C-alpha cells in the first residue's frame, strides 16, 4: 500500500508523493513563545514528529521548517507585564520549549526560524501584495483585500462571498463570523515594540510570518504544511491567500491538521483547573516517554481525551515493551530457530508499516507490536522461543521504535541533565525551590543514583548466592524505601524507580 494522507484541502485520503524526487519539503507552525507549552500543543508536535520520523523511515529525505512566533499580541502583552524586552522574554520560553522537545524525544526540524529575524522578508511580501492589488493601507496599517482573492475559504470550506467589503480586523485570532480583511502590518502603538520599515513603523501580523518563512526556505510550492485543527481558520486560510495572491502558484500540496486534545472529556482551560503544561505532568512524577506514548497513541485526526488513567496505562504499556525487549536480549533460550516465530516478527513489521502508511494510524501501529510481544512472551513461556529468533524480533522492535521512540529508558538521564532531578542530599534545596519557583525548578528527588542502585543489587545477588536470604530481603526492602522496585525475572534482576 502506498503512503496516504488525509488532505484538509481536498477533504480526501490521497497517495503521497513529493513534488521533487524523494525530497519532502514540510512546514509546521511552531509555538507562540509567551508561556510554557501545554500538552495540547505537544499532542500536535508529537504527531508532527511521528510524521517526519515515518517519512524518513519510508526513505524520504525531509526538509522540515518550523517557526517560532516571537512577536504577536500575546508575546507583547506578556513581555510588557514582565517588564522585560520582547527578545529577552521570548528567549526564556524558546529555551524551555527546546528542553521540553528533548524530553519528549521530538527531533529537531532541519530549520527553526524566529519571526523577528524575518521582518525584511515580510515587508517585501507585503509590498508585492500591494503592487498586485491584494493589499491596501489604512491608518498606518496594511490589510489584505479578501475580496480580491476569489478562492478565499477553500481550505476552511466556507463561502465568504457575502462578507462586507472593506470591513477590517486587526486581531491575530478571530472567528469565521468576523472574517474580513485581515491585517498584514500593524501600525506602531504607543509603548509597543516596532520596526522602522518602508511600510512605516509597525510590526507584522501573525499570518504573514508563516507565508514568508515557509516560502523562503521551501519554495513557492511545497509538499506538506501542518498544524493543529484550530489553525485551519483563519491562520492557514490567510497563509494560502497571502502566498497564492503573491506568487500565482499553488502554495501547499498537502495540509495535515491534528485534532484537539481534551482532558477528562472537557476542553482544557485554566479556569476549569484541567490545564497542564508538560512541566506540570513531570512535576507530578510522570515520565516523558509515557506522555509521548499517550500523545502518540491516538491517530491525529481523532480527538485525544487525556486522562490520568490513560497516562498510567501508557506507562504500563511502555514498561511492558521494555520488559519484553529486556527478556529478548538477556534471556537464555535453546539453540536453533523457530521459523514460524520469525515469520510473526516479519508480519508485525508489515502490519506496523501498513498502519502508518494509512494516514499514520498510530493506534494500529502500536497494536501490531503488542501482538508480537504477546506471541513472543507466550513462545518463551512454553519453551518454543529459540536463540536464533532474537534477531527478527529485535529488528521489528528497532524499526518500530525509530518512529515511536519510547523503548529507551532515558527519562531519568534527561530529567537529571535538565535539572529536574536532584540527589537525596539536595532534598532541602528542592523543598525551597518548589516553594519559590513552582514546578519549573527541581521536581524529582532521588535518594540513590543509578550506580548506587546497581551496587546494592550486586550485593543482594551475592547474598542470594550464599543463601543469605534474610540479608537479600533486607537490601530489597531498603531499596524499596528509597523508591526503587526490583523485579526478579528469568533473565535476571531489573530495577525501576517508583
Cell representation of residue 268: 482544557
Number of shown-chain residues binding Zn ion (CB under 5 A): 2
The span from the CA of 166 to the CA of 434, in Å, is 53
Please give the C-alpha separations between residue 279 and each of 258, 420, 443, in angstroms, as whole numbers: 22, 9, 9
User: Helix, strand, or coil here: 125?
Assistant: helix
Stretch that binds Zn ion, among 184-192, 204-212, 373-381, 476-484 (CB under 5 A): 204-212
Question: What track of x and - describes contact with Zn ion for positions 4 through 23 (by CB under 5 A)?
Answer: --------------------
Stretch that binds Zn ion, among 50-58, 111-119, 209-217, 291-299 (CB under 5 A): 209-217
The least distance separating Zn ion from the CB of residue 31, rounded to whole angstroms, comes to 10
Q: Which is nearer to Zn ion, 29 or 397 (CB)?
A: 29
Q: Which is nearer to Zn ion, 171 or 264 (CB)?
A: 171
Residue 357 and residue 305 in contact, taking contact as beta carbons nearer than 8 Å: no
Q: Which is nearer to Zn ion, 227 or 376 (CB)?
A: 227
Site for Zn ion in 171-200 (CB under 5 A): none
Query: Binding to Zn ion by residue 210, rule CB under 5 A?
Result: yes
The span from the CA of 286 to the CA of 95, in Å, is 21
Cell representation of residue 173: 485570532
The span from the CA of 418 to the CA of 368, in Å, is 34
Query: Binding to Zn ion by residue 245, rule CB under 5 A?
Result: no
The closest of 116, 115, 165 to 144, measured between CA atoms, is 165
Site for Zn ion in 224-243 (CB under 5 A): none
The span from the CA of 11 to the CA of 219, in Å, is 24
Stretch that binds Zn ion, among 32-40, 79-87, 202-210, 251-259 (CB under 5 A): 202-210
The least distance separating Zn ion from the CB of residue 159, rounded to whole angstroms, comes to 24
Side-by-side strand order, sheet with 261-263: 266-267, 261-263, 304-306
Pairing between strand 141-144 and 181-187?
antiparallel
Residue 57 and residue 107 in contact, taking contact as beta carbons nearer than 8 Å: no
The least distance separating Zn ion from the CB of residue 336, rounded to whole angstroms, comes to 56
Q: Which is nearer to Zn ion, 210 or 246 (CB)?
A: 210
Query: Binding to Zn ion by residue 208, rule CB under 5 A?
Result: no
The least distance separating Zn ion from the CB of residue 140, rounded to whole angstroms, comes to 24
Query: Binding to Zn ion by residue 115, rule CB under 5 A?
Result: no
The least distance separating Zn ion from the CB of residue 200, rounded to whole angstroms, comes to 24
The span from the CA of 336 to the CA of 314, in Å, is 35
The least distance separating Zn ion from the CB of residue 309, rounded to whole angstroms, comes to 34
Stretch that binds Zn ion, among 208-216, 270-278, 343-351, 409-417 (CB under 5 A): 208-216
Stretch that binds Zn ion, among 207-215, 217-225, 272-280, 390-398 (CB under 5 A): 207-215
The span from the CA of 34 to the CA of 45, in Å, is 17
DSSP state of 192: S
Q: Which is nearer to Zn ion, 119 or 210 (CB)?
A: 210
The least distance separating Zn ion from the CB of residue 225, rounded to whole angstroms, comes to 8
Q: Which is nearer to Zn ion, 50 or 113 (CB)?
A: 113
The closest of 297, 390, 408, 405 to 345, measured between CA atoms, is 390
Query: Binding to Zn ion by residue 29, rule CB under 5 A?
Result: yes
Cα angle value 31/36/39 (rounded, 5°): 80
Site for Zn ion, rule CB under 5 A: 29, 210
Amino acid at each position: 500500500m502506498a503512503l496516504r494522507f488525509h488532505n484538509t484541502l481536498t477533504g480526501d485520503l490521497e497517495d503521497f508523493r513529493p513534488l521533487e524526487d524523494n525530497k519532502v519539503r514540510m512546514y509546521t507552525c511552531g509555538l507562540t513563545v509567551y508561556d510554557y507549552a501545554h500538552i495540547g500543543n505537544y499532542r500536535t508536535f508529537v504527531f508532527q514528529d511521528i510524521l517526519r520520523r515515518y517519512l524518513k523511515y519510508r526513505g524520504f529525505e525531509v526538509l522540515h521548517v518550523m517557526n517560532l512566533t516571537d512577536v504577536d499580541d500575546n508575546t507583547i502583552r506578556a513581555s510588557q507585564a514582565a517588564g522585560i524586552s520582547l527578545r529577552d522574554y521570548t528567549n526564556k520560553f524558546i529555551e524551555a520549549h527546546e528542553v521540553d522537545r528533548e524530553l519528549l524525544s521530538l527531533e529537531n526540524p532541519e530549520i527553526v526560524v524566529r519571526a523577528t529575524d524575518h521582518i525584511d522578508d515580510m515587508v517585501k511580501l507585503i509590498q508585492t501584495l500591494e503592487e498586485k492589488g491584494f493589499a491596501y493601507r489604512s491608518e498606518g496599517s496594511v490589510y489584505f483585500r479578501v475580496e480580491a482573492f476569489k478562492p478565499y475559504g477553500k481550505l476552511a470550506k466556507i463561502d465568504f462571498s457575502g462578507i462586507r467589503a472593506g470591513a477590517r480586523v486587526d486581531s491575530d485570532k478571530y472567528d469565521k463570523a468576523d472574517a474580513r480583511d485581515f491585517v498584514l502590518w500593524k501600525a506602531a502603538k504607543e509603548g509597543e515594540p516596532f520596526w522602522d520599515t518602508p511600510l512605516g513603523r509597525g510590526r507584522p501580523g501573525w499570518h504573514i510570518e508563516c507565508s514568508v518563512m515557509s516560502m523562503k526556505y521551501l519554495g513557492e510550492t511545497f509538499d506538506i504544511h501542518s498544524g493543529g485543527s484550530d489553525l485551519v481558520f483563519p491562520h492557514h486560510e490567510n497563509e494560502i491567500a497571502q502566498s497564492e495572491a503573491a506568487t500565482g502558484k499553488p502554495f501547499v500540496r498537502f495540509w495535515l491538521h491534528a485534532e484537539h486534545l481534551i482532558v477528562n472529556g472537557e476542553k482544557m482551560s485554566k479556569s476549569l483547573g484541567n490545564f497542564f503544561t508538560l512541566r506540570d505532568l513531570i512535576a507530578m512524577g510522570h515520565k516523558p516517554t509515557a506522555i509521548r506514548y499517550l500523545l502518540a497513541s491516538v491517530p491525529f485526526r481523532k480527538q485525544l481525551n487525556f486522562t490520568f488513567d490513560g497516562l498510567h496505562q501508557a506507562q504500563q504499556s511502555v514498561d511492558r515493551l521494555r520488559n519484553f525487549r529486556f527478556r529478548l536480549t538477556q534471556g537464555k533460550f535453546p539453540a536453533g530457530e523457530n521459523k514460524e516465530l520469525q515469520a510473526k516478527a516479519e508480519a508485525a513489521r508489515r502490519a506496523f508499516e501498513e498502519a502508518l502508511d494509512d494516514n499514520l494510524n498510530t493506534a494500529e501501529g502500536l497494536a501490531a507490536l503488542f501482538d508480537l510481544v504477546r506471541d513472543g512472551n507466550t513462545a518463551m513461556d512454553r519453551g518454543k522461543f529459540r536463540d536464533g529468533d532474537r534477531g527478527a524480533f529485535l529488528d521489528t522492535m528497532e524499526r518500530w521504535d525509530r518512529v515511536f521512540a519510547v523503548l529507551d529508558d532515558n527519562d531519568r538521564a534527561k530529567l537529571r541533565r535538565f535539572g529536574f532531578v536532584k540527589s537525596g542530599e539536595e532534598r532541602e534545596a528542592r523543598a525551597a525551590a518548589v516553594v519559590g519557583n513552582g514546578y519549573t525548578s527541581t521536581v524529582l528527588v532521588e535518594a540513590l543514583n543509578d550506580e548506587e542502585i546497581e551496587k546494592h543489587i550486586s550485593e543482594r545477588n551475592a547474598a542470594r548466592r550464599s543463601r543469605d536470604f534474610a540479608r537479600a530481603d533486607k537490601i530489597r526492602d531498603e531499596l524499596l524505601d528509597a523508591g526503587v522496585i526490583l523485579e526478579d525475572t528469568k533473565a535476571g534482576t531489573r530495577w525501576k524507580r517508583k
